[in-house]
Structure 1
Amino acid sequence: MKVKRCTRIIIAAFLLFLILTFFLDKPDLLAVSLSLWVLIIWRYIIFFKRLKLVVKSVDVKRIIDKSLVRQGMICMVTTKISLTIEEGMTAIYSEMVPVGVQIEDGTNQTDPLFSGAHKLTLTYSISPISHGSITFPGGSVTVQDPFFETTIRLSTSSYNGPVLLVQPAPFFEKKRSDRQSQGVETNTIQVQRGSTIKTYRKYFQDDDSRLIDWKLSAKRDTLYVREFTSLESNPPLLIIDLPDVDQDYDEKHFSKLVMAISAQIENVAREGTILSLLIISGPNIITFLSHEYYPGSWMTVIREQFHPRIRLHHLYRTKQRIELRKIVKDFQNLNKNRVNNSIIRYYSLLNSVFKNHLLDNGKNRFSSQISRIFLSVRPGFITLYSLCDGDVSHIKEIAHQARFDKIQFVIQTTQKISSHKLCAQYSALRKETIEEIP
């Protein structure tokens, strides 16, 4: 229950007259203050009675064009509302959106309705993100007059429903648009499957009838279809580089980074594709999700892990292999006749250590971890979100391995692109695609 401006003014006048009554000792002011309080109670009783009449008059009939849809497909919802608004009141009816569903087009809310009988129709389209049985929870009515305003949730059995059954979308599928079949343009989804049978399941509407296993269906007296193992795909890899908690960072840039990542995950969830997620903080790996399909798992990990972290390890002390080769080459070209023996022994020791490291194909721990992740995921596309503040040696290492494995690599950062061209620390990233987050 909310009080409107008129009610707040009356309450303020009531308190003012009540205070003046005690200070000025005038009974007339007390009578005025009590009359104002009676006015508020009287208006509340009138509002409550009219509110009950409005809620009783609400009749909702909701129709969906499909009772069974695939995950991520479009379903049209038509809601017919009839209600009567009492004199001196206005109302707004809103449809409550089920959990795991997003509105694609249309509106689920009426314009303000004034006194009188109304019959309205709301039409909007939804796209289910999660699979399973989805029940429409009903709606809500916001009623107000010049003194009070309240919202009533209509979630009983007479207002909720129907039930929408959402089937899980296949993991690996591609969409062929505008394909002609006997002169008719169609828009179908073809699942890329292998030749090995993975499992059997019950037949659903829109399943290919050629996949029905007739022997098993006759034995069970129910239609069953064969599910095949999917062909190997190359899902995208999303890398999130969290800032160092001990280093000053721009909170506005960090907020932009959060919004960009949320938008990217929302797009992937809408498309119904698989995503691999890697969260790091410098060369420290926080968590890793491989070939994850459900958006709820992505959002759970991001909610729990998306905050500045303590960086226990750094890579700015670790020399790159190209730098080690340069040191070894400089020692070989060193004129030993012009330096003393102590300097020669020092460079000889460095040369032996670096040379053995190069011959053993040695890598630091972070490089080995990234190499194993790339080998297990085999991503076709890598997007790295980072503030690019301070040391970027770990980003150089990821870019180097992506270039070696011939994987497209894009860096999304909040800094201006011109800064990457001017600063020497970004020289190793000039060959990569660097995009600025607006």
Structure 2
Amino acid sequence: MRFSRCSRGIAALAVVLALLALFFDALPAALVSGGLVVFLAVRGALFLSGLSSAARSLAVDRALSPLLVRQGTAVTVGTKGRIMVPPGYAATIADLPPHGAVVSGATEVAAAGDFRLDYAITPMTTGEHAFRGVILSFSDPFFATTLTIRTGGTLAPSLVVLPSTEYPVGGREGYGERESAAFSAQKSQEIRSFRGYLPGDDPRRIDWKLSAKYDTLYVREYLGRAEFATLLAIDLPDAGLPYDREAFERLKEAAASVIIARMQDRVPFSVLLVSGPNLVSYTPLDRDPQRLVALITKLAPVSRLHYLYRYRSTGSLRRRYAPLASSSEPFVQRLSAIAAAPLSHRLPHTFELQVSRVFQALPGSSAHLFTLADRDASHLRILAEQAALRGIRLEVHVPKEGHDPGRLSRSLAAPVAVV
């Protein structure tokens, strides 16, 4: 709660009168000073009561058009509501759009009864985004304050943002498998399904016959097209252990240089951040190189919750015991059976499942792994094995301080580049 200029003047006058009463033993000055203090206290209590009453009466109803959009597409926001402001007070309502959205138009309005806000936002990040509530600015001639309200309808609805359009627009070269420019009137096996049109979809994918039948625009989803992307997997150091800061900075520069080198190609990148066997975050198919470079330059060590030591996947263990099963000696065969028995019901590690899902969803053919390689390499083997299972070419980047050609090449079975 802030004092207005009027209340600050009254408080200063009360202090002056109190000092006057103290030094000159002036009883009237003391009475007036006390009266001013009581007046401010009563006005403060009334102000808090009016603020509480207005906040309880606030009702917000927000509408978005549309609720499902492509990244970078403008969304119309209409926020209407009602607030009961007691006489003698003034209130202002400000809407709080989702983080990372570019706002166009006024998001603040003076409210006394019914109010309405109309503006547009352009979401720049993918995923599901909720509004952050509303800000109630409340004032009277003596006090003023702001209150952020995040309850009920102030957070709804959520906006779902899909990645930018999959289909290359005219005048730009496409990547990966190329669909035929002429669509056949007959049913094609390459069409996987149909879905409703979203702003940003290429018009060439609209199925006009189906759209005319149901009076709604539908677009085709294709099976054949696979857009080749590059995965950047970055192994962050453990914040709880010492690490080489200079080597880590060089590693981040190497990751950024991979993005800059292919900036002109407009190839999408997926960024997988891990720290040992801990998946930190995953950003799929991002086409903005500047945002990716900014993300990489801000990377820092994280605290690891889980560790692996000399972990081997079930597949690698089976390959290791396979030669024993082909032996003709009874002892070796028995040893092979004992060693292979637990593998039939052995569950994969959680990190192994997470990496498998990432590579399975990646429509790409190349990956770069950046790591200090200064400790146990179990998680690095998991990444290399999952890339090999999906037929994805993997290149490992390590600083010269952690480069051990024999150990890395033998355990990862992938080319190693020294940075």
TM-score range, shorter chain: 0.3 to 0.5
Give the TM-score normalised by structure 1.
Answer: 0.44
Give the TM-score normalised by structure 2.
Answer: 0.46
Larger Rg: 1
Q: Name the one with the larger strand percent.
A: 1
